[in-house]
Copies of this chain bind each other. A is one copy, B any other.
Amino acid sequence: MTIPLLFPSITIVGAGLIGSSLARAARKNNLCTNIKIYDSNKNVCARVQDLNIADQIHQNLKSAIEESSFLILATPPGTIDSLCIEIGKYAKKDTIIMDVASTKASVIKAAASLPHHLYFVPTHPVAGTEQSGPEAGFAQLFEQRWSIITPLAREDEAYQGAVKRVEEFWRGVGAQTDIMDAAHHDLALAITSHLPHLIAFTLVGAADDLESVSQGEIVKYSAGGFRDFTRIAASDPTMWRDVFLNNKDAILEVLGRFSEELALLQRAIRWDDGETLTNSFTRGRLLRRAIVDAGQETEAPDFGRTR
């Protein structure tokens, strides 16, 4: 779907996987006349230049944002706080500011310093790869994916209009949108994204620590299941540290449930209770089928099978 020239000028703050993908997607879908990218890192700016994915590249925040009517904050959750203090000084009246962080309650708190004449719309596109940096982005990243919007508790019409435009932006890059409150987002993502990452990091760490099995063996036999975990365990450490520290309560809640279930299965293994194991394992197939049917996955993507 193409919405022509929805935003005359946008500025993307942070040229990582998500920011650089949004720049590419906005251009491909003809969403704006002018795409600016800001990054605090000089080296990253040079790489963005080489990739030719923006009309302007800035290493100065003020000049990057002062003429844009739409700002996208595509930096780790831990940076939103100080970023919003700067933006509050330089952004012009009625600017829409959307973030893309994986945690929402913490970001809303961090953005509380923004003045009322700026419209902050918290969003989270549930899409990504384990890669990072501007080279890793691609225009199709958001297609057939969901972007969740968790609006502030503001009743004014101008703000409602800003939320609508943000929805249109996400649809413009190929995503579907959902609206929910930040607390529910944080719990839903704790189970579907944050806990899976935490567990994948944990498994890789435990494997790395096992003196009796070499790394070479782990690599060789990773097709037995381990490699499915390493994809997400290769994700950006800084971003994920911020996610875990910024969604602490929900993550500790779902982690408690995970640990209880794991203790149940551990006990069943120890006591040869095959029935408990089979009953638990049978649930996996049903959920997998639902995910494949919903187009959120293709089956056995990496086996190149021919029958």
With A201-B265, A238-B278, A278-B237 known as contacts, the answer to whether A294 contacts B141 (CB < 8 A) is no
Closest residue on chain B to residue A241 by CB atoms: B277
**Min CB distance, A262 to chain B, in Å?**
5
With A233-B288, A281-B240 known as contacts, the answer to whether A128 contacts B224 (CB < 8 A) is yes
CA distance A230 to B292 in the complex (A): 10
Task: State the main secondary structure of chain A at its contact with B.
Answer: helix
Assess whether A270 is in contact with B252, with CB atoms less than 8 Å apart. Answer: yes
CA distance A137 to B197 in the complex (A): 31
With A129-B303, A219-B296, A274-B245 known as contacts, the answer to whether A230 contacts B266 (CB < 8 A) is no
Q: How large is the interface on A (under 10, 10 to 19, 20 to 34, 35 or more residues)?
A: 35 or more
A204 on interface, CB distance cutoff 8 Å: yes
Q: Which residues of A contact B (CB under 8 A)?
A: 102, 126-131, 138-141, 145-146, 148, 178, 184, 187-189, 191-210, 212-213, 215, 217-235, 237-238, 240-241, 244-245, 248, 251-252, 254-255, 257-262, 265-266, 269-270, 272, 274, 277-278, 280-285, 287-291, 294, 296-307
Provide 9 A-B residue pairs closer than 8 Å at the C-beta atoms, listed in order of the A residue.
A130-B288, A130-B300, A193-B224, A200-B225, A206-B258, A241-B277, A244-B277, A248-B269, A255-B262
Residues in chain B near residue A207, CB distance under 8 A: 191-192, 287
With A192-B224, A300-B131 known as contacts, the answer to whether A235 contacts B284 (CB < 8 A) is yes
Across the interface, A287 reaches (CB within 8 A) one of B189, B208, B260, B304, namely: B208
Closest residue on chain B to residue A145 by CB atoms: B223
Work out how many copies of this chain go into the complex: 2
Residues in chain B near residue A208, CB distance under 8 A: 283, 287
CA distance A232 to B215 in the complex (A): 22
CA distance A224 to B234 in the complex (A): 14
With A213-B188, A223-B296, A241-B278 known as contacts, the answer to whether A231 contacts B288 (CB < 8 A) is yes
Q: Which of A230, A240, A282 has the most CB of B within 10 A?
A: A230
Residues in chain B near residue A284, CB distance under 8 A: 200-201, 204-205, 230, 233-235, 237
Residues in chain B near residue A200, CB distance under 8 A: 225, 228, 284
Assess whether A297 is in contact with B213, with CB atoms less than 8 Å apart. Answer: no
Across the interface, A140 reaches (CB within 8 A) one of B206, B269, B305, namely: B305
Residues in chain B near residue A127, CB distance under 8 A: 223
**Min CB distance, A279 to chain B, in Å?**
8
Closest residue on chain B to residue A238 by CB atoms: B278
Assess whether B221 is in contact with A188, with CB atoms less than 8 Å apart. Answer: yes
